[in-house]
Copies of this chain bind each other. A is one copy, B any other.
Amino acid sequence: MRRSGDPVRFEGIEPGTTTHCGSTTVTENEIVEFAERYDPLAIHTDPAAAAESRFGGLIASGYHTLCLSVRLLVEGVRNERAVVGGLGIDDVRWHRPVEPGDAITVRTEILDTRPSESDPNTGIVHEAITVTNQREETVLSYENYELLARRE
Residues of A within 8 A of B (CB): 37-41, 43, 53-55, 59, 61-63, 66-68, 70-71, 74-75, 78-79, 83-94, 97
Whether the Cβ atoms of A71 and B41 lie closer than 8 Å is no
Which of chain B's residues have a CB closer than 8 A to the CB of A79? 40-41
Which of chain B's residues have a CB closer than 8 A to the CB of A97? 85
How far is B94's CA from A49's CA once the two chains are assembled, in angstroms?
A: 34
Closest to A68 in B: B38
What is the CB-to-nearest-CB distance from A131 to chain B, in angstroms, rounded to a whole number?
13
Whether the Cβ atoms of A62 and B91 lie closer than 8 Å is no
Closest to A67 in B: B38
How far is B48's CA from A148's CA once the two chains are assembled, in angstroms?
A: 20
Whether the Cβ atoms of A38 and B92 lie closer than 8 Å is no
Which of chain B's residues have a CB closer than 8 A to the CB of A87? 93-94
Whether the Cβ atoms of B93 and A41 lie closer than 8 Å is no
Which of chain B's residues have a CB closer than 8 A to the CB of A66? 63, 66
Of the candidates B40, B53, B92, the one whose C-beta lies within 8 Å of that of A88 is B92
Whether the Cβ atoms of B94 and A91 lie closer than 8 Å is no
How far is B66's CA from A88's CA once the two chains are assembled, in angstroms?
A: 11
How far is B84's CA from A94's CA once the two chains are assembled, in angstroms?
A: 13
Which 3 pairs of residues, A with B, have the shortest CB-CB distance? Answer: A38-B67, A88-B93, A89-B92
Which of chain B's residues have a CB closer than 8 A to the CB of A68? 38
Most-contacted residue by chain B among A62, A63, A97 (CB, 10 A): A63
Whether the Cβ atoms of B88 and A90 lie closer than 8 Å is no
